[in-house]
């Protein structure tokens, strides 16, 4: 068939679209003779469409025909009289249809690719025309302006949130812009030294708290600052600063101050959002000491960070217990052993008790403030999401629609993470509340004992006065907590009202849509609730294509080549967004629910030995072309790692790696939600097989049971991935009667741990003990007793890998909905060590160092119905923790690493000292 006779493509944009069209209905009720007639009509229709040049329709009809033929071949009537039915169908037609469908499929794949390339070129040309038109309009507008605004050198852009000291210095020296500086350091530090600028005022950090309005804050300001504060509406730029903040984290004083100005200052509309000074006053003092009131000021040496998720140090009973008191030898056994001659002892006892209550209440107040801040941020993010969503729906240009969609994904990701943090804070508050109740119970018992043995009126009055003062303090704290809680509840109700309004608008929009209209975004869920922006595990899905389930297969007949051809000759479309970032700090674009893949890639990208192996090209000596993936998975991952470590991109798109992965595993092809643990496990096996090399087999006679089992598993074919990530488990089954045991050995690339049932908080040690504890196996065939016996199965780690990967089984089948295969998620908060994880108590005498440090975490936020993956990684170059949220990469504190979202942990063995 010539190219000119083929009709234009009209049924789909890719071959997968056509695969959805040739499904046939249930044919159980149809007789074989009727099905033969139907098949003949389908074949004739396919032939006719092929003659007309309609390849798409012809392909669909051929595939329908083959489906019907497959069903007929299993029919009882057909099996009784095959000759008769084959004559009705035509003996050569099925083979002819199969060959034609295969040719049409190959032709359509090529045509779809050409059409997509042409569309991309058209989009690029159209975008260039739009940009050119916008540029021409902008030039015309500038030329038409009678008075042009002066361009201020150093002025940050309208979307920037920070300003550097160099920029601020240029602005202050030029005096052409009205700049107000809000110094949020303590009053004492401000009076000692501050920027020498007439509109620089002190907003002390002790005056800033969550839930304040601008009017309330003004009442707390020093008298000298109030008159200048009133002029903030006329300012063209407002700069906030503290001592040395590099970033503004939610919950910090600068973030609270910015929220007060933008959200709770109802009388003022700011022309641009306030910005914060990078490095704070310490950076300014270092660079421009002459532009300060006192250049000899010394920054505080404390390294305290006001972090919303800082670990809270709980008071212990030993810390709060009173000092030893002199025992009254004449006291009866039922009386308290307190020195009644010392008034100071009784007062000190009560002060110690009251101080413990105060500490717990202060922590509860801090958690309430942080929870309120999180609620405000959630409300703000949901309002931004609604605004962006409406703007996106109203935008017609593809380029702008993509930008709005990206922003929508960022906000929904932020919402999920805020909800997770709020859950952690609530669990923290519950723990503190239990401590407080227990402490108050003990305090009441102690007070009753003191009252029973009181014999000096003056001492009783002093203690009673102390008690009344403590009660007043406690009441004030509780009133404060109650006020913050009430404000949080009001924000919750307000958010519910906004959600109801959004649902109503969405329902009206759907009702107004015509029946034939197509959804703008087919990947968006139909539920009117908060839509899923990214991936969540697809654990409930079971593949029907069992032949595609990949397991390690070793080719023992072919020796891999010494050096494989370089993959640099292959052109890859990373779609990079350029930007000068640190090495290894490049983000990964979400390609449609691929955050599960991005999270794992970033964790592997911070595995130092693996990065060196890929970046220096050493892996090329080990690429194995005899495996089913022919080394392509390893080559694509190596290309992505090199791009991530180039330091010249803000973020890239791993399109080729995703495409290659989809070729070998159907579940990773589309835009469906997937499980990062499933992807990691399969990827490890692929990389091991792609990078195999042969080693000299050892003498089995000299090996122990564990080593012999290990070499039987590897078959003398190893890889760097195997040596880094794979370990070994010994499973021992012991008879309870004769005590005979039967050990077996299995390899693992990650430990998958159960969580303690019905536990809101637990430790990593709890999970490991639960995994390794013995379980009873009834009816085991004992080889020694020759009868069925009860046995105990015990697991032990017999080989620890240099990189220990630990997975938490957060997803489980709900027993109430077992028949529906409904999965739920455990939000358990797991306390795991960041450093010095000692595995000696959980393993046998393993070679190597059993002490590990954490370097990466794959997190899952949300539920089975909708979720999102991120990665927390510690850079081996900069020694700091960073959050990788798809294309967004930001620095974070180590206190934020532990959370109830932790899903997979990556530990590396410490180097022996």
- Supply the residues annotated as catalytic: 595, 868
d(CA 450, CA 473): 21
- Measured between its terminal Cα atoms, the distance across the chain in Å is 73
Provide CB contacts within 8 A for 109, sequence distance 6+.
15
d(CA 603, CA 679): 13
Query: Residues 623, 690: contact at Cβ < 8 Å?
Result: yes
- What angle in degrees, to the nearest 10, is found between the helix axes of 676-690 and 595-605? 50
Query: Residues 687, 640: contact at Cβ < 8 Å?
Result: no
**Within a 10 A sphere around the Cβ of 82, how many other Cβ atoms?**
11
Give the DSSP H/E element, type plus range, for residue 285.
helix 280-287
> What is the DSSP code (8-state) at residue 557?
S
Query: Residues 718, 692: contact at Cβ < 8 Å?
Result: yes
Query: Residues 897, 594: contact at Cβ < 8 Å?
Result: no
Query: Residues 308, 251: contact at Cβ < 8 Å?
Result: yes
Token readout for 193 is 């030294």
Phi–psi pair at 887, nearest 5 degrees: -80, -10
d(CA 605, CA 612): 10
d(CA 270, CA 277): 18
Give 16: exposed, middle or buried? Use CB within 10 Å, 0-12, 13-18, 19+: exposed
d(CA 177, CA 349): 60
d(CA 858, CA 878): 20
Token readout for 516 is 């034939």
> What is the DSSP code (8-state) at residue 840?
G
Of 264, 181, 262, 259, nearest to 216 by C-alpha is 264
Token readout for 664 is 């070998």
Residue 208's SS3 state is coil
User: How far from 121 is each of 15, 116, 398, CA to CA, in Å?
Assistant: 21, 9, 14
User: How far from 77 is each of 30, 42, 55, 83, CA to CA, in Å?
Assistant: 11, 21, 34, 11
Burial 566-582 (b: 16+ CB within 10 A, else e): ebeeeebebebeeeebe
| Residue 757 CA to its chain's centroid (Å) | 24
Token readout for 469 is 């003062």
Query: Residues 346, 338: contact at Cβ < 8 Å?
Result: yes
| Residue 759 CA to its chain's centroid (Å) | 22
């Amino acid at each position: 068939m010539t190219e000119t006779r083929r009709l234009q493509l009209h049924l789909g944009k890719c071959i997968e679209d056509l695969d959805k069209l040739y499904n046939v209905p249930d044919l159980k009720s149809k007789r074989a003779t009727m099905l033969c007639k139907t098949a003949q009509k389908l074949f004739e229709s396919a032939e006719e469409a092929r003659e007309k040049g309609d390849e798409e329709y012809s392909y669909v009809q051929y595939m329908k025909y083959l489906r019907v033929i497959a069903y007929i071949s299993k029919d009882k009537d057909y099996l009784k009289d095959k000759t008769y039915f084959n004559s009705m169908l035509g003996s050569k037609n099925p083979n002819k249809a199969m060959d034609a469908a295969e040719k049409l499929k190959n032709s359509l794949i090529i045509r779809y690719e050409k059409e997509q390339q042409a569309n991309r070129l058209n989009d690029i040309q159209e975008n260039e025309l739009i940009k050119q038109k916008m540029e021409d309009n902008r030039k015309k507008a500038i030329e038409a302006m009678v008075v042009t605004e002066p361009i201020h050198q150093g002025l940050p852009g309208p979307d920037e949130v920070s300003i550097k000291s160099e920029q601020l210095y240029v602005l202050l020296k030029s005096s052409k812009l009205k700049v107000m500086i809000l110094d949020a350091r303590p009053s004492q530090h401000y009076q000692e030294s501050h920027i020498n600028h007439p509109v620089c005022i002190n907003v002390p950090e002790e005056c800033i708290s969550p839930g304040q309005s601008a009017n309330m804050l003004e009442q707390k300001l020093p008298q000298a600052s109030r008159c200048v504060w009133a002029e903030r509406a006329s300012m063209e730029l407002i700069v906030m600063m503290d001592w040395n903040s590099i970033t503004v984290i939610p919950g910090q004083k600068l973030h609270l101050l910015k929220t007060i100005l933008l959200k709770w200052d109802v009388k003022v509309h700011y022309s641009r959002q306030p910005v914060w000074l990078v490095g704070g006053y310490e950076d300014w003092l270092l660079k421009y000491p002459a532009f300060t009131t006192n250049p000899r000021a010394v920054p505080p040496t404390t390294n305290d960070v006001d972090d919303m998720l800082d670990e809270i140090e709980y008071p212990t009973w030993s810390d709060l217990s009173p000092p030893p008191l002199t025992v009254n030898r004449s006291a009866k056994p039922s009386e308290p052993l307190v020195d009644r001659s010392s008034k100071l002892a009784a007062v000190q006892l009560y002060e110690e008790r009251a101080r413990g209550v105060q500490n717990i209440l202060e922590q509860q107040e801090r958690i309430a403030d942080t929870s309120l801040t999180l609620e405000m941020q959630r409300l703000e993010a949901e309002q931004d999401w609604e605004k962006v969503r409406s703007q996106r729906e109203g935008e017609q240009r593809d380029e702008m629609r993509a930008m709005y969609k990206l922003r929508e994904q960022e906000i929904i990701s932020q919402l999920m993470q805020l909800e997770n943090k709020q859950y952690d804070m609530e669990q923290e508050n519950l723990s503190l509340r239990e401590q407080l109740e227990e402490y108050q119970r003990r305090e009441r018992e102690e007070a009753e004992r003191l009252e029973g043995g009181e014999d000096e009126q003056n001492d009783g009055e002093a203690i009673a006065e102390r008690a009344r003062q403590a009660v007043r303090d406690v009441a004030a704290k509780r009133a404060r907590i109650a006020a913050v809680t009430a404000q949080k509840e009001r924000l919750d109700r307000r958010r519910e009202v906004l959600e109801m309004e959004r649902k109503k608008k969405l329902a009206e929009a759907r009702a107004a849509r015509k029946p034939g209209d197509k959804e703008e975004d087919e990947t968006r869920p139909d539920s009117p609730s908060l839509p899923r922006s990214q991936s969540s595990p697809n654990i409930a899905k079971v593949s029907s294509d069992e032949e595609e389930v990949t397991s390690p297969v070793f080719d023992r007949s072919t020796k891999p080549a010494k050096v494989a051809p370089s993959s640099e000759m292959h052109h890859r479309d990373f779609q990079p967004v350029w930007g000068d970032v640190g090495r290894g700090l490049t983000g990964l674009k979400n390609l449609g629910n691929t955050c599960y893949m991005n999270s794992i890639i970033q964790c592997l990208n911070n595995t130092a030995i693996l990065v060196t192996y890929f970046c220096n090209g050493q892996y090329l000596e080990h690429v194995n072309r005899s495996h089913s993936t022919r080394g392509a998975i390893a080559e694509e991952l190596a290309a992505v790692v090199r791009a991530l470590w180039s330091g010249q991109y803000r973020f890239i798109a791993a399109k080729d790696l995703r495409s290659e992965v989809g070729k070998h595993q159907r579940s990773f092809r589309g835009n469906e939600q997937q499980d990062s643990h499933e992807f990691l496990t399969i990827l490890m096996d692929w990389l091991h097989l792609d990078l195999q090399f042969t080693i000299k087999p050892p003498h089995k006679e000299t090996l122990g049971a564990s080593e012999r089992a290990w070499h039987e598993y590897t078959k003398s074919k190893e890889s760097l991935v195997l040596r880094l990530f794979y370990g070994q488990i010994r499973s021992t089954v012991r008879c309870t009667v004769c005590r005979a045991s039967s050990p077996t050995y299995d390899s693992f690339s990650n430990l998958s741990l159960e969580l303690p049932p019905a536990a809101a908080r637990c430790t990593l040690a709890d999970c490991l003990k639960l995994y390794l504890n013995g379980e009873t196996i009834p009816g085991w065939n004992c080889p020694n007793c020759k009868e069925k016996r009860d046995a105990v199965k015990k697991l032990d780690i017999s080989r620890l890998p240099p990189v220990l990967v630990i997975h938490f089984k957060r997803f489980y089948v709900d027993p109430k909905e077992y028949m529906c295969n409904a999965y739920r998620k455990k939000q358990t908060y797991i306390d795991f060590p960041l450093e010095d994880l000692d595995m000696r108590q959980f393993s046998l005498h393993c070679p190597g160092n059993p002490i590990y440090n954490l370097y990466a975490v794959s997190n899952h936020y949300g539920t089975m119905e909708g979720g999102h993956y991120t990665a927390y990684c510690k850079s081996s170059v900069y020694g700091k923790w960073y959050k990788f949220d798809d294309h967004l990469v930001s620095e974070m504190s180590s206190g934020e690493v532990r959370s109830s979202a932790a899903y997979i942990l990556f530990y590396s063995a410490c180097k022996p000292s």
